[in-house]
Amino acid sequence: MEFSESINRSILYFFRKRTVLLSVFLILVLNLLLKKILGVNENVVLAEARHFGDPSWIPNDWFLNQHIGYRLLFNTIFGYTARFLPLHLLSISGRILIYFIFSIIVDKAARTLKIHVLFIIPSMLLFILFQSLVAREWMLGGLETKSFAYACALGALIALAHRRYKPMFLLTGLAASFHILVGIYSAFSLGVAILTLKEQRENFRQIIISSPLALITAIPALYAIFQYLGDSATVDSVRAAAIYVIKRNPHHVFPAAWTKPWTVRFIASCLFFITVLCFSRVQERRIFASYGLGSAVLFCTGLVLYYTGNYNWLKLYWFRHPDVIIPFIGFFLTASLLSVPIIDLSPDRKAGPVKSLSSLLRKATIALGIILSLTAIGKSLFTFRDQLSFIIQSNSPFYLDNLNPELREALFWIKAKTPGNSSFLVSPAVDQFYIAAERGMFVSFKHSPQTDSDNIEWYNRILLLNNGNEPVKNGFHMVTEIDDAFYRISPDLIRSLAEKYSLDYLLTKYDFTMPFTKVYSNSIYALYKINDGNP
């Protein structure tokens, strides 16, 4: 009996100590675990990771053989795992891992900022729903290298708040190894926080001594930087930047392409951070606020470059870090301030009216927290139910249910009936070709490389399939245009591409008759053999 009671007390103690961690993990799982599996960026990064771990998987593909340098650490970890797990199971297990890591980070952030669990839950949900200020960046979603980078960056911020400089630098270097720009911009924001706060400047000598530790965990990032610089020195980097900024990624880096209102939110966030920095007596809140302001400096730098016409420099993603860090810090600082009546205020036994007022404020805050938390949990449960229902009702495999049935059927036939080393001429709009057909393709809009030379080659291939014309629209708005142009491509150009790029098959629409050997067709699509030299 005593042993049983002791076990029960231990379990209750564990859950009390880990309430925030478990609550955050639950919210993340309910909202994100089943959302767009092998969607978002996963059909890019997980395909590349699998090819990295097993080069015999889609061996002759142009994009997959580029090996994007800044994903080296991610590809090493998950690429070899992908040799034993199907990609959709890798997505799910990898998401669980990053959500658990992030839950640990948030638990430590909550303790640092003195946030009550009743306000952690709604603030976490709000961040999931509104984690981008305007530039469509995200911290949490699918399995992606930048999710691990942001977890490391936030861990470094928490270490700074506790004046633990060695872990801070180790985590900052690790953030750069998962994603170079996230790590660099995290380091900049940490530097702003250190220089802004007197209590941090007093430890400047200790900070300098600890700083070389970042180089140890940043070794993969340094490799990627040298690789990129070596490539940029041999090509027209100005043209490559214009392609990357204006043609491929304007939604991330080019303010002219933004349609979501952001000015008021950005200014209000900065004013909020300044207010906390100037008037808060809690050092940890001031550190988080100054870090947020440091990130806002990066955002303003991007705006200056844009308004002065220095578009080439926008390829460095000045808006990436602040786009998610500003909402994150804004929500969590607000939760910290709302928690004050629960955590910091206790009724004063000596003063009756003050005691009554304090007790009333505490009860009102608890009631507000309960309402917000129950609302957040209810919203999360409904979200999970809808996502699970979608998977149950989907055609198999569920992660390809968004494809029309005829295209899915054609891709499955390709996977089953064509040689594994064959290459295909397919519309650049078919994002799921790698994960569904598991064959190489000439070019994909979604699957774009990062180095300047490969970026130029990617765009040249897009132009070839667009009849040599510059697309009228930019970013994802051009996909429909190049998709339409692809299905009007001439047989002569197909022959030329097949010979020059060693392409074996053409997947086109059934009603476009081609002078090649048809090997498969359904009511919408037809597959032709365009290179008779291969089996």
> Residue 295's pLDDT is what?
98
Query: Binning pLDDT at 50, 70 and 90, where does residue 66 land?
Result: confident
Element (H, E) at 192: helix 180-196
Distance CA 506, CA 514 (A): 10
In the chain, the percentage of residues whose pLDDT exceeds 90 is 80
Query: What is the average pLDDT across 44-59?
Result: 95
Query: Binning pLDDT at 50, 70 and 90, where does residue 534 land?
Result: very low
pLDDT digits (tens, 9 = 90+) for 77-86: 999 999 999 9
How far CA 484 is from CA of 220, 280, 347, 428, 488, in Å, comes to 41, 57, 70, 10, 7
pLDDT digits (tens, 9 = 90+) for 339-370: 999 887 655 444 555 566 678 888 999 999 99
SS3 content of the chain, % helix, strand, coil (to 5): 70, 5, 30
Q: Which residue has the tokens 């909550």?
A: 110
The SS3 assignment for 519 reads strand
Mean pLDDT taken over the chain: 91
- Measured in whole angstroms, the distance separating CA 84 from the mean position of its chain's CA atoms is 24
Contact 159, 167 (CB under 8 A): yes
> Residue 18's pLDDT is what?
87
> Residue 343's pLDDT is what?
82
> Residue 358's pLDDT is what?
79
Query: What is the average pLDDT across 192-202?
Result: 92
Residue type, 363: K
Query: Binning pLDDT at 50, 70 and 90, where does residue 39 land?
Result: confident
Query: What is the average pLDDT across 450-460?
Result: 91
Contact 331, 196 (CB under 8 A): no
Best mean pLDDT range from 255-259, 359-363, 448-452: 255-259
pLDDT digits (tens, 9 = 90+) for 466-509: 988 899 999 999 999 999 999 999 999 999 999 999 999 999 99
Where are the strands (E) in 410-504, listed by range? Answer: 423-425, 440-441
In this model, does residue 298 exceed pLDDT 50?
A: yes
> Residue 15's pLDDT is what?
56
397: preceding bond cis by omega (within 30 degrees): yes
In this model, does residue 14 exceed pLDDT 80?
A: no
Query: Binning pLDDT at 50, 70 and 90, where does residue 510 land?
Result: confident
In this model, does residue 414 exceed pLDDT 80?
A: yes
**Cβ contacts of 523 within 8 Å, gap of 6 or more:** 406, 510
In this model, does residue 13 exceed pLDDT 90?
A: no
- Comparing 396 with 32, the larger pLDDT belongs to 32
User: Within the chain, what is the greatest distance between any pair of CA atoms?
Assistant: 95
pLDDT digits (tens, 9 = 90+) for 103-160: 999 999 999 999 999 999 999 999 999 999 999 999 999 999 999 999 999 999 999 9
Q: What is the pTM of this model?
A: 0.93
